[in-house]
Amino acid sequence: MCVRLITAAILLLALWVGHGRAAEPSLNEFLKDYDDPDRRAAVVANLSSIETALGWANSALRAQRMSRRALYCLPDNLTIAPHELISLLRDALWDEPRLGDRPIGFVVLVTLQRAFPCR
């Protein structure tokens, strides 16, 4: 129960970081904003917030139940720079175009799960 509440709270935080938009932007909207030099800093901040929230959710899952499977498994001492995550997102969109219409938080999670599966 506690794990679910913590995970839900963290994921809600990830969704909240839409910076004043009525709804979370889709991957297509997010990448369009990233390609606009005037919006890039806000997009990078939003992306970093989403990645941080998902990382905390991952940590909570591991801390609460060691046997429970994590959301994704980054190698030790690996940090993903925003431009690297953008590249992963673009690759995901290329591989699966329907992700373009999905909310960015969901696509970040799916992309990290595919790039860093738990074994």
Long-range contacts of 71-74 (CB under 8 A, 24+ apart): 71/109, 71/112, 71/113, 72/109, 72/112, 72/113, 72/115, 72/116, 72/117, 72/118, 73/116, 73/117, 73/118, 73/119, 74/112, 74/116
Place of tokens 């899952």: 61
Which pLDDT score is estimated for 63?
81
Q: What's this model's pTM, rounded to 2 decimal places? A: 0.77
Task: Using the predicted structure, report yes or no on whether residue 76 has a pLDDT greater than 60.
Answer: yes
Cα–Cα distance for residue pair 117/74, rounded to 1 Å: 8
pLDDT digits (tens, 9 = 90+) for 5-33: 555 555 555 555 444 445 789 999 999 99
25: Cβ contacts below 8 Å, ≥ 6 apart: 18, 33, 103, 104
Bigger pLDDT: 16 vs 104: 104
Cα–Cα distance for residue pair 118/45, rounded to 1 Å: 27
For 26, which DSSP code?
Answer: B
Report the domain count for the chain.
1
pLDDT digits (tens, 9 = 90+) for 34-58: 999 999 999 999 999 999 999 888 8
CA angle 52, 19, 100 (to 5 degrees): 75
CB 61 within 8 A of CB 70: yes
Mean pLDDT of the chain: 83
Domain of residue 81 covers: 2-115
